[in-house]
Amino acid sequence: MFTLPDFPWDRLQPYKERAAAHPGGIVDLSVGTPVDPTPERVRAALAAASDAPGYPQTYGTPVLREAVAGWLRRRLGVTGADPDAVLPVIGTKELVAWLPTLLGAGPGDQVVFPELAYPTYDVGARLAGASPVATDGLLSLGPAAPKIVWVNSPSNPTGKVLPAEHLRKVVAWARDRGAVVVSDECYLEFGWDPDAPPVSVLHPDVCGGSHEGLLALNSLSKRSNMAGYRAGVVTGDLALVRRLLEVRKHAGMIVPAPVQAAMAAAFDDDAHVDEQRERYARRRATLRAAFEGHGFRIDHSEASLYLWATRDEPCWDTVEHLAGLGVLVGPGEFYGPSGARHIRVAFTATDERVAEAAARL
């Protein structure tokens, strides 16, 4: 029987209540949920497909799969992007949690993920009955051959970007051991440092033109303000995608037909993503200046929708201090022990709330 950790965000409730008591109201920079409108073309596509009396396709419509493949080629530089190797999922958190199980991991298998990481990587290993292993150095595993190796670039929570050379070494190491590399790439279109551009694990500079043994996860939650749609995709190795498809067909893991239509519209359009990037760039600059002016140091944060900040004190002391100003942030400890002296600051709040946070700091 697997054991699960307590849901970490429940521990933040007292600080949320304290921040909410501020005379100017709470500025919530903790979870990172999008607040800007879902693009009109996406909403129109959803509405146009809302008459959906029949069962949707688990595999996704051909239109959706081609839209994703086109986006991979156009925006991420992925050569050989195959629409047959695209599978829609009910938000990527669902897939992160169930992927080890879907790939057959179990007792005796290792699932490896970064030391500072999205907690659901660990949860997914536990749900499968496998052993979760948090490490930033694959060589520390010795001769072990893990079942799955997670990479996350740009990183949640740190915003760190792994260069193509690093990812290439991870791929080579995993292929030598028969491990599957799964790359969580939900923030790939939000790189802020021109000297450290994020790159997909499916890019030829990383994978050598072959997607064998590789899976990449992408989400529309952040890039298209569609978190409420629960819309994501997994793509890469065709054999692995087909294996996932067979299990998901049996289990009824199906993205609703209207959501599939909305996804196709979102992946076909780049303009709304560029517009959203500009919004986030402004908010990021405002918050970075405010936190640095308040005595914080910003580490990494060259990509993603977060600032990884510290005052070189226990993270809960920082959370308490900021809650007194009516500003709620995420404690770095949620992402692993090495985050115990950092906080994660999301810049997904509205322009008005971001300006309010800057004024208080």
Contacts for 124-130 with beta carbons within 8 Å, 24 or more apart? 124/96, 124/97, 124/98, 124/99, 124/100, 125/100, 126/2, 126/3, 126/4, 127/2, 127/4, 127/97, 127/98, 127/100, 127/101, 128/2, 128/100, 128/101, 129/2, 129/105, 130/100, 130/105, 130/106
Alpha carbon 107 to its chain centroid, in Å, reads 26
Exposed/middle/buried for residue 309 (C-beta within 10 Å: 0-12, 13-18, 19+):
buried
Q: What domains sit in the chain, N to C, each tagged with a CATH number?
A: 8-37+272-360 (3.90.1150.10), 40-268 (3.40.640.10)
pLDDT of the chain, 361 residues: tens digit per residue: 567 777 778 899 999 999 999 999 999 999 989 999 999 999 999 999 999 999 999 999 999 999 999 999 999 999 999 999 999 999 999 999 999 999 999 999 999 999 999 999 999 999 999 999 999 988 888 888 999 999 999 999 999 999 999 999 999 999 999 999 999 999 999 999 999 899 999 999 999 999 999 999 999 999 999 999 999 999 999 999 999 999 999 999 999 999 999 999 999 999 999 999 999 999 999 999 999 999 999 999 999 999 999 999 999 999 999 999 999 999 999 999 999 999 999 999 999 999 999 999 9
User: What does the alpha-carbon distance between residue 356 and residue 361 come to, in Å, rounded to a whole number?
Assistant: 9
